[in-house]
Amino acid sequence: MYLTREIKESIFSKHGKNAKDTGSAEGQIALFTHRINHLTEHLKNNRKDFNTERSLLRMVGKRRSLLDYLKKKDITRYREIIKELGIRK
């Protein structure tokens, strides 16, 4: 399993307030980014996995929505998370 409990806790502790802060926008964006990177690697090996491709596109859209929300609410937090995760735009 690529996404264990320990990995989730480390992502949320690094990008949220603490390991149990799963609701913050930064934590959710970081989790989506981790999952998107994993699915991208999977699709490089399995080109005809169209269900995974669809899931990947949905996740990218959800992450984009969260980033737009964060940009509208607090531009400094938005810029920090973009720089930390290496997301374009």
Q: Within a domain: residue 10? A: no
**Number of structural domains the chain divides into:** 1
Q: Within a domain: residue 13? A: no
Amino acid at 68: D
Query: What is the DSSP-derived secondary structure letter of residue 82?
Result: H
With CA atoms as reference, report the closest residue to 87 among 48, 20, 68: 68
Overall pTM surpassing 0.85 (yes/no): yes
Q: Within a domain: residue 6? A: no
Q: Within a domain: residue 4? A: no
Q: Within a domain: residue 65? A: yes
Neighbours of 42 (CB within 10 A): 14
Q: What is the pLDDT of residues 51-76, one digit of tens each?
A: 999 999 999 999 999 999 999 999 99
Amino acid at 32: F
Q: What is the pLDDT of residues 4-17, one digit of tens each?
A: 999 999 999 999 88
With CA atoms as reference, report the closest residue to 77 among 19, 16, 21, 7: 16
Q: What CATH number should be reported for the domain holding residue 67?
A: 1.10.287.10
Q: What is the extent of the structural domain holding 50? A: 23-85
Q: Within a domain: residue 41? A: yes
Q: Within a domain: residue 9? A: no
Under a CB-based contact definition with an 8 Å cutoff, are residues 29 and 63 in contact?
yes
